[in-house]
Amino acid sequence: MKERLERLKVVKSLIKTHRIDSQESLLQLLAEAGYTVTQATLSRDLKYLKVGKVADGHSGYYYTMPSEEERKESEKHSIQDFLRGYVSLDWNESIVVVRTFSGHSDSVALAIDNMGMEDVLGTISGRDNVVFVALKKGSNGEDFIAALKRKIPDFDPE
């Protein structure tokens, strides 16, 4: 976990200080900084950091970090999507089951993914009204609820 957080800081720093136009270039800069990762891992990191690409004004694009205001606005929308669809949740040792209103499972799963909670490995949206949240080893439902409460202070799972 610590290595990932340190790597994410390095990725953010590299994107802010270099004009990077491809994952290959970013992988090379990461390797020079002492981080060897796969392209798939880098893709997940970029998604987690909400990195985007903007036009360079000619014929190409480069990576950019969202502003703090954009990041907060995006998280605000994710929270609203979660609260709009959430009905209840329960868990066992490694999976949280979130029940949703009919038709809301996709938006609730995406909202959970976009909130970037460290205990969450990923989500699977059920056909209509359930989301399965896979938790990292050593995490449990109480950790998930605590993370939700940090993101949504008024959240009450009862």
Residues 14 and 31 in one domain: yes
CATH of the domain at 53: 1.10.10.10
Q: Is residue 158 part of a domain?
A: no
- Closest by Cα among 69, 67, 88 to 77: 69
Average pLDDT of the chain is: 89
Q: Is residue 156 part of a domain?
A: no
Residues 56 and 101 in one domain: no
Q: Is residue 157 part of a domain?
A: no
What pLDDT is recorded for position 135? 94
pLDDT in tens, 14-56: 999 999 999 999 999 999 999 999 999 898 888 888 888 888 7
Residues 95 and 125 in one domain: yes
Amino acid identity at 29: L
Instruction: Give the span between the Cα atoms of 29 and 65, in whole angstroms.
Output: 17
Q: Domain span at residue 27?
A: 2-64
Residues 58 and 96 in one domain: no
Residues 121 and 83 in one domain: yes
Place of tokens 């970037």: 116
Half-sphere exposure of 56 (CA within 13 A, CB side): 10
pLDDT in tens, 52-84: 888 877 878 898 887 778 777 878 888 999 999
- Closest by Cα among 44, 148, 35, 42 to 89: 148
Of all residues in the chain, the percent with pLDDT exceeding 70 is 99
Residues 139 and 76 in one domain: yes
- The pTM (predicted TM-score) of the whole model is 0.64
